[in-house]
Amino acid sequence: MIKIINLTKIFRTESVQTTALNEVSLEISQGEFVAIMGPSGCGKSTLLKIVTGVLSPTAGNIQIEGKVSALLELGAGFNEEYSGIENIYLNGRMMGYSRKEMDERLNGIVEFADIGDFINQPVKTYSSGMFARLAFAVAINVEPDILIVDEALSVGDIFFQNKCFKKFDELKRNGVTILFVSHDIGSVRQMCSRVLWLDHGTVRAFGEAAHIC
Ligand code: ADP
Ligand code: MG
């Protein structure tokens, strides 16, 4: 469950002030699959970062029940000098898993990422698509209650995207709540129950996917 009340986020730099989110309120139940849509700069990433706890809001309130696993902008939570394997353990530690618990998950993650021997190479040698594969494989294999995916999938190849969509279906059946940013009306219509349409930091609409699309 995610409950957001009058959430406002204002970024202040020396010369400008940007209201990235302006009194956003919404409620998402467990097991819902929600897409966040809207043009660049409308506040999608800011909202996801606040839900994940990477950013704190300027005003308003957010309540979350369940363990959140997030795939934000590429690079967040990874050390690029470390190998893929080492980064899997690093991420596990940040999610609160012991080494032994990650040992049990390692095969599943490596298999899902499917990047061959690159898994033993430093992450800085990866293409953005390979990186997306690794980051996604980690995010879905730590049994989250809430999975958050920013635009990361758009850098992946079509085969990997399809594999991710299948995985979303499986997670959805298991009652995982998914919040996902996408510009792809077709897959949103197909997969999501509701769509949050943001416009200049305000909620333009939040309703049934077929209708909003
Ligand atoms: P989206 O993900 O929908 O493209 P963002 O949430 O990244 O949009 O950004 C919303 C607005 O907030 C934009 O106008 C952006 O320039 C501004 N913004 C985002 N992050 C920062 C930051 N760290 N400092 C200043 N302004 C920011
Ligand atoms: Mg964004």
**pLDDT value of position 75:** 63
Q: Average pLDDT of the chain?
A: 92
Percent of residues, the chain, with pLDDT higher than 90: 70
Ligand 1 atom nearest to 49, measured from its CA = 6
Please tell me the number of the ligand nearest to residue 38's CA. 1
What pLDDT score does 12 carry?
95
Q: Is the CB of 49 under 6 A from ligand 1?
A: no
Q: Is 194 in the pocket of ligand 1 (CB under 6 A)?
A: no
Q: Given this model, what pLDDT does residue 74 score?
A: 61
Confidence of residue 193 (pLDDT cuts 50, 70, 90): very high
Mean pLDDT of the region 8-29: 96
Cβ 92 under 6 angstroms from ligand 1: no
pLDDT tens by residue, 97-119? 899 999 999 999 999 999 999 99
Name the residue with the closest Cα to ligand 1, atom 22.
Answer: 11
In the reported structure, the alpha carbon of residue 43 is separated from the centroid of ligand 2 by a whole-number distance in angstroms of 7
CA distance from start to end of the chain: 24
Q: What is the pLDDT of residues 4-16, one digit of tens each?
A: 999 999 999 999 9
Highest mean pLDDT among 24-28, 65-69, 185-189: 24-28
Q: For residue 30, give the DSSP letter.
A: T
Mean pLDDT, rounded, for 188-201: 95
Is any atom of ligand 1 closer than 6 Å to the C-beta of 182?
no
| Local structure of residue 167 (DSSP, 8 states) | H
Residues around ligand 2, an ion, CB closer than 5 A: 44-45
Question: With 80 as the cut, is the pLDDT of residue 154 above it?
Answer: no
- What's the rounded Cα separation, in Å, for the pair 191 and 33? 7
Q: Which atom of ligand 1 lies closest to the CA of 48?
A: 6
Ligand index nearest the alpha carbon of residue 10: 1
pLDDT tens for 35-91 read 999 999 999 999 999 998 889 999 999 999 998 988 886 666 789 999 999 999 998
Question: How much is the average pLDDT of 120-145?
Answer: 91
Q: What is the mean pLDDT of residues 165-189?
A: 91
Residue 187: is it exposed, middle or buried by C-beta count within 10 angstroms (0-12/13-18/19+)?
middle
Q: For the residues of the chain, what is the DSSP string, one character each? A: -EEEEEEEEEEE-SS-EEEEEEEEEEEE-TT-EEEEE-STTSSHHHHHHHHHTSS--SEEEEEE-S-EEEE-STTTT--TTSBHHHHHHHHHHHTT--HHHHHHHHHHHHHHH--GGGGGSBGGGS-HHHHHHHHHHHHHTS--SEEEE-GGGGGS-HHHHHHHHHHHHHHHHTT-EEEEE---HHHHHHH-SEEEEEETTEEEEEEEHHHH-
Ligand 1 pocket test target in 13, 15, 16, 18 with most atoms within 8 Å of CB: 18
